[in-house]
A = this chain, B = another copy of it.
Amino acid sequence: MSPKALDYESLNENVKKVAYAVRGELYLRASELQKEGKKIIFTNVGNPHALGQKPLTFPRQVIALCQAPFLLDDPNVGLVFPADAIARAKHYLSLTTGGLGAYSDSRGLPGIRNEVAEFIGRRDGYPSNPELIFLTDGASKGVMQILNTIIRDDKDGILVPVPQYPLYSAAISLFGGSLVPYYLEETANWGLDINNLRQSVAQARFKGITVRAMVIINPGNPTGQCLSISNLKELLRFCFQEDLVLLADEVYQQNIYQDERPFISARKILLDMGPPISKEVQLVSFHTVSKGYWGECGQRGGYFEMTNIPPQSVEEIYKVASISLSPNVPGQIFLGLMVNPPKPGDISYLKFATESKAVLNSLRRRAHMMTDGFNSCRNVVCNFTEGAMYSFPQIRLPPKAIEAAKKAGKVPDVFYCLKLLEATGISTVPGSGFGQKEGVFHLRTTILPAEEDMPAIMSSFKKFNDEFMEQYEDHKGYSRI
Contact = CB atoms under 8 A, between A and B. Distances in A.
A472 interface: no
Interface stretch (A11-19, A111-119, A219-227): A11-19
A148 B324 contact: no
Interface residues of A, number: 102
Given A68-B61, A138-B324, A319-B18, A299 B106 contact: no
A241 interface: no
Contact of A80 (B22, B76, B101, B105): B76
Interface in A1-25: 2, 4-8, 10-13, 15-16, 18, 20, 22-23
A101 B296 contact: yes
A404 interface: no
A444 interface: no
Contacts of A319: 15, 18, 20, 23
A96 B61 CA distance: 19
A140 interface: yes
A203 B13 CA distance: 26
A152 B80 CA distance: 54
A151 B175 CA distance: 12
A325 interface: yes
Contacts of A102: 47-50, 297-298
A427 to B, nearest CB: 13
Nearest to A85: B68
Interface string A30-62: 010000000000000101111111010100110
A396 B55 CA distance: 58
Contact of A49 (B11, B101, B140, B299): B101
Interface string A311-337: 011001001101111111111000000
A382 interface: no
A228 interface: no
Interface in A70-102: 70-71, 74, 76-77, 79-80, 96-102
A282 interface: yes
A298 B243 contact: no
Contacts of A80: 71, 74, 76-77, 79-80
A162 interface: no
A349 interface: no
A77 B76 CA distance: 9
Interface string A145-182: 00011111000000000000001001100110000000
A63 to B, nearest CB: 5
A65 B60 CA distance: 10
A233 interface: no
A67 B294 CA distance: 14
B245 A300 contact: no
A152 B17 CA distance: 13
A296 B316 CA distance: 27
A254 to B, nearest CB: 15
A10 B244 CA distance: 12
- What 3 A-B pairs come out closest when comparing CB atoms? A298-B329, A49-B98, A64-B68
Given A103-B297, A137-B328, A174-B320, 17 more contacts: A6-B149, A8-B316, A11-B313, A16-B316, A18-B323, A22-B322, A52-B98, A55-B100, A64-B65, A77-B80, A79-B80, A80-B80, A101-B295, A170-B320, A170-B323, A297-B326, A328-B331
10 contacts: A6-B245, A11-B149, A12-B150, A20-B320, A45-B325, A60-B68, A60-B69, A61-B68, A297-B326, A300-B328
